[in-house]
Amino acid sequence: MRSTGIRRTLAALSVCSLALAASACGSDGDSASGKTRITVNCEPPKSAKVDRKFFEDDIASFEKKNTDIDVVAHDAFPCEDPKTFDAKLAGGQMEDVFYTYFTDVKHVVDTGQAADITSYVKELKSYDTLQQQLRDIYTVDGKIYGVPRTGYSMGLIYNKKLFEQAGLDPEKPPATWEEVRADAKKIAALGNGTVGYADYSAQNQGGWHFTAELYSQGGDVVSADGKNATVDTPEGHAVLQNLHDMRWTDNSMGSKQLLVLNDVQQLMGSGKLGMYLSAPDNIPILVKEKGGNYQDLAIGPMPGGKGTLIGGDGYMFNKKATPEQIRAGLKWLDHMFLTPGKGFLGDYARAKQNNAPVGLPEPRLFTGAADAKDQEVKKANANVPVENYQSFLDGNQALQMKIEPPNAQQIYSVLDGAVSAVLTKKDADIDQLLKDASGKIDGILARG
C-alpha cells in the first residue's frame, strides 16, 4: 500500500498558484539552446543527501551522453503526495514525465491527462526485457501509457532466532495459513511478551492486509469487471476466521491490537515478533530504524500458495508532451532506472560503497538475460545475507500476482472495520461483518 490518500475529484485549477513555484509546471519542450527540455519528478529531497546526489549525478551523466536533451528535475517527498496529485492532474500541470503508483494508472488515463506512448515504446531499449505483468499494468484498452520502474510483492517476514527457540526449522517458513497458525502458537508459547504473528487493523492498513491474505487464498476483493464486491465468500470468511482463531483461541497475536505498520515493525525489530506480512523493503527499515539484525531476519513466500499482492510505481507522460519530449523521456528512463546493474536503482557497487543494503530479493523488474545480468551484479555486491531470502524468491515466482483493487483506500477503510472487529471482539459475527462490508464496497464501486 504505497498510495495513502483517497482520490478526490477536484475542479481544474492552476496548481502553480497552490503551493508550487512556476518552475514546477510543465515544460514548453525547448530550452533557449534549442535542446529538447523535459521536466521530471521524484527527485529525492535535499534531506536525503546521498540519494539526491546519486539522482543528480545520474542526470548529469545522461545529459553528457545525450547533449541534445536538458532534464529539469523536481524534488518530491513522497514522490506522489495525495494532497496535491489530483490537483496537479486536474489542472494539467504534471511534469512531462511524472511518477505514479500502479494503482493510479486507470485513474490518470480516465482524466485524459496521459499521453499514449504505444508508438514510441519500441524506442525504449529495455521495454521487452521488463516483466510482462508489470508492463500490463500501464496498458489500458490496448494502449500503453507508461513504464514500470519498481515492483514489489508481499511475503512473510520472520525471525529465524525465534523459530529456532520455538523448535521450528528457521530455513523452512510456513507455506500455508494452517502452518502459520501452528508456528505462531509455538512462538507465542516462548512467553516474555513474545507474539507469534501480528497484523495491521487500523488506518486502512488492516484492509490492505485483508486484501493480501484474500489473494493468497485465491480470492479477490472485487469482480473482474470492477462492479461488485467479492469479499463475502468462503475465502473471505477463511481470512477473518483464521485471524479470529489466532487471536482468541491460540492467543498467538498478543493482546494489543489496532496495530499499524510502525507498531509491528517495532515488535519485529525488538525481537519480540515471530512473523508478519510485508515486502522485502521492510527488512532494512527493521535493521536501521528498529534495532533488528540482518542475520535474524528472513522472508518467505506468501502463505496460501495461490496469489500475492503486488505494488510498485512507474512513470507516465503528460498529454501535452511533444514527440521529442516523449522520446527524450524514454531515453532518460532507460538510463536512470531500466539498465540492469546501473543507474539510480541498479548501481549496486555505488550503493554498497555508501552502506546501502544490496542483495534484497526485490525489486525484480527484468526477465531473461537482463534479469540474469541484474542478479549477477547484485550478488557480486551483496552486503546482506541473501540466503535468508531464497525461499521468497523461489516461492513467490510461482504465485499469481495481483495489484490492489480499484478505489483501494476507500475499500481498505471498509475492510479495516471487519479486521479490527475480529481482533478486538471475541464474539464478532464474521458472516455479518462480510455482508456489511460487501454492501459498502458495492456502494463505493457504484459511485466510481
Per-position pLDDT tens, the chain of length 448: 543 332 222 223 333 333 333 334 445 566 557 899 999 999 999 998 999 999 999 999 999 999 999 999 998 878 988 788 999 999 999 999 999 999 899 999 999 999 999 999 999 999 999 999 899 999 999 999 999 999 999 999 999 999 999 999 999 999 999 999 999 999 999 999 999 999 999 999 999 999 999 999 999 999 999 999 999 999 999 999 999 999 999 999 999 999 999 999 999 999 999 999 999 999 999 999 999 999 999 999 999 999 999 999 999 999 999 999 999 999 999 999 999 999 999 999 999 999 999 999 998 899 999 999 999 999 999 999 999 999 999 999 889 999 999 889 899 999 999 999 999 999 999 999 999 999 999 999 998 7
Quick one: how far is CA 19 from the chain centroid?
27
φ/ψ (deg, to 5) at 329: -65, -40
> What is the radius of gyration, based on Cα positions, of the chain?
22
117 contacts 239 by C-beta, under 8 angstroms: no
227 contacts 406 by C-beta, under 8 angstroms: no
Identify which of 274, 136, 270, 208 has the alpha carbon closest to the alpha carbon of residue 420.
Answer: 208
For 183, the 3-state DSSP assignment is helix
- CA 133, CA 403: separation in Å to the nearest integer? 10
